[in-house]
């Protein structure tokens, strides 16, 4: 690495020994000119964008200056991970073994693809499932057309850093009218404490196609902060159906940031589910754009916090055309001294008549140290709309608990059932094979530590 002196003003803008113009330059080696320019431009946006602070409405409850130690992060060591599953860490292997039913798999260790497969029948039909790097070589035009079209450097400081520094990612392409019956499953393992992982997901579903995708991250606990930054771009052509699920089961010490945007054309449907269980800090910025009449989006979220975990979900639903719909449901349970923030906004722009948009956030506080902040916002500039939002924060339903206890369950079992019932509503709305079992299992594990 090039030795460099970082001035104080650069440091306050997030220029560090790991993140600087020279490290961006290294990444661009061998990349096409358009991508190199994209990275350089993103880097300059990063340098010029102030670090978000709590005076910004969108960062009001998540103090980055306190929670993110940018200066101590380094880039991961480049090692080619073991290709044979027998040498994988146990937790990774266990996780992938539960994912047999799939249209295709990708397994990444420390950001590098160590395994990829796809149903040959689908490959024959033109379905692409590749690492982003391979896709750049194999399908340069497709990647060029869509990469950065949904999440760009202009979206914010962290988005710009990701755009400048991404090391690898996933590219999924489904041609017109091709429909996948089983989900694509991606499993990630991260192992280097103190490293910063930048990756991107780009899924393009052409007109009338159908695809579902489940992305899961697991890791051990870390005693130094480790960053997992991702940018997720979901593009659905006319009449396409795209389902995206991400399950975050990282160890403690991980700071997770995920910037996601969905672009749904006429009559398309894009559903998302964000599950937050692990990590120390988990922030999601999700924007759904309903771009054509008939476009629809279901936006689901589920989180279970304990210890000092901090969750922050920042969502927006943009209705720019008539006859579009969106329905958001985020539910979470908070134990220990954990904290959750939900900030959502429905924007109905002038002329977007006959919009149906809903937004609900419900929180269950399980301990006296837990805290929930909820800001469900509406901005409505058309009159023929159906919009509503609701938010609740409350304690465990004691009546339900006592009912169960009177039927012979002990207190712990009864609480477990009530919490699972509360959170289960979210999972039942996007029942992809294996996800419910997996998430329920992880919640049960956390609940068993509930005192």
Partner 1 sequence: MPENETIQGLDLDEYKYDFVTEVDPVYRAQRGLSEEVVRQISQHKEEPDWMLDFRLKALEVYESKPMPKWGGDLDGLEQVLDEIYFYVRPQDRMQHSWEDVPDEIKDTFEKLGIPEAEREVLAGVGAQYESEMVYHSLREEWEKQGVIFDSIEDGLKNHPELFREHFGTIIPTADNKFSAMNSAVWSGGSFVYIPKGVSLDTPLQAYFRVNQERMGQFERTLIIVDEGAQAHYIEGCTAPVYSTESFHSGVIEIVVKKNARFRYTTIQNWSNNMYNLVTQRAIVEEGANMEWLDGNLGSKLTMKYPSCYLMGEGAHGEILSIAYSGDGQHQDTGGKVVHAAPHTTSSIVSKSISKGHGRSTYRGLLKVHEGAHHARSNVECDALLINETSRTDTYPYIEIEENDANVGHEASVSRIGEEQLFYLTSRGIPEDEAMAMIVRGFIEPIAKELPLEYAVELNRLIELEMEGSVG
**Residues in contact with partner 1 by the rule CB under 8 A:** 57, 350-351, 353, 363, 365-368, 370-395
Within 10 angstroms of residue 417's Cβ, the number of other Cβ atoms is 16
String of DSSP letters for 286-351: EEEEE-STT-EEEEEEEEEE-TT-EEEEEEEEEE-SSS-EEEEEEEEEE-TT-EEEEEEEEEE-TT
Taking the complex as a whole, how short is the minimal distance between the CB of residue 367 and partner 1, in angstroms? 6
Taking the complex as a whole, how short is the minimal distance between the CB of residue 364 and partner 1, in angstroms? 9
Q: Where are the alpha helices (DSSP H) in 106-232?
A: 120-124, 132-138, 140-146, 157-165
- 293 contact partners, CB below 8 Å, separation of at least 6: 266, 267, 321, 322, 323, 324
Taking the complex as a whole, how short is the minimal distance between the CB of residue 385 and partner 1, in angstroms? 6
The CA distance from 228 to 190, in Å, is 9
Within 10 angstroms of residue 77's Cβ, the number of other Cβ atoms is 9
Taking the complex as a whole, how short is the minimal distance between the CB of residue 311 and partner 1, in angstroms? 14
Taking the complex as a whole, how short is the minimal distance between the CB of residue 252 and partner 1, in angstroms? 22
Taking the complex as a whole, how short is the minimal distance between the CB of residue 450 and partner 1, in angstroms? 12
Closer residue to partner 1 (CB): 185 or 343: 343
The CA distance from 195 to 138, in Å, is 29
Q: How far is CA 72 from CA 17, 23, 194, 354, in A?
A: 9, 15, 7, 50
């Amino acid at each position: 690495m090039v030795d460099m002196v970082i001035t104080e003003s650069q440091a306050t803008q997030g220029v560090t020994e790991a993140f600087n113009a020279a490290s961006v330059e290294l990444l661009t080696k061998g990349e096409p000119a358009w991508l190199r320019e994209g990275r350089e431009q993103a880097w300059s946006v990063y340098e010029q964008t102030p670090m978000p602070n709590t005076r910004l409405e969108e960062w009001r409850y998540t103090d980055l200056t306190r929670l993110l130690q940018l200066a101590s992060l380094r880039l991961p060591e480049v090692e080619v991970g073991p290709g044979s599953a027998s040498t994988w860490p146990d937790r990774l292997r266990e996780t992938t073994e539960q994912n047999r039913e799939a249209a295709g798999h990708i397994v990444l260790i420390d950001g590098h693809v160590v395994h990829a497969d796809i149903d040959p029948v689908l490959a024959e039909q033109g379905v692409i499932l590749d690492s982003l790097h391979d896709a750049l070589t194999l399908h340069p035009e497709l990647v060029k057309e869509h990469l950065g079209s949904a999440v760009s450097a202009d979206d914010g400081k962290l988005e710009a850093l990701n755009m400048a520094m991404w090391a690898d990612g996933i590219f999924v392409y489904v041609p017109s009218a091709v429909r996948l019956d089983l989900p694509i499953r991606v499993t990630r393992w991260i192992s280097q404490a103190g490293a910063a992982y930048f990756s991107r997901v780009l899924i393009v579903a052409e007109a009338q196609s159908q695809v579902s995708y489940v992305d899961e991250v697991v890791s051990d606990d870390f005693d130094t902060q480790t960053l997992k930054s991702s940018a997720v771009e979901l593009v659905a052509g006319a009449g396409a159906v795209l389902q995206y699920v991400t399950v975050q089961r990282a160890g403690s010490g991980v700071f997770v940031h995920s910037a996601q945007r969905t672009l749904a054309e006429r009559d398309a449907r894009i559903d998302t589910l964000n599950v937050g269980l692990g990590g120390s800090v988990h922030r999601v910025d999700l924007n759904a754009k309903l771009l054509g009449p008939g476009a629809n989006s279901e936006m689901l979220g589920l989180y279970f916090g304990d210890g000092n975990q901090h969750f922050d979900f920042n969502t927006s639903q943009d209705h720019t055309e008539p006859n579009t719909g969106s329905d958001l449901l985020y539910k979470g349970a908070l134990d220990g001294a954990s904290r959750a923030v939900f900030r959502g906004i429905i924007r109905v722009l002038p002329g977007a008549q006959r919009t149906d948009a809903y937004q609900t956030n419900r929180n269950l506080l399980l301990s006296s140290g837990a805290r929930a902040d909820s800001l469900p916002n509406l901005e409505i500039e058309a009159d023929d709309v159906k919009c509503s939002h609701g938010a609740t924060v409350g304690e465990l339903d004691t009546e339900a608990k006592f009912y169960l206890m009177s039927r012979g369950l002990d207190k712990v079992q009864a609480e477990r059932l009530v919490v699972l019932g509360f959170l289960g509503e979210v999972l039942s709305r996007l029942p992809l094979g294996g996800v419910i079992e997996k998430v329920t299992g992880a919640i049960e594990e956390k609940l068993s530590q509930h005192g």
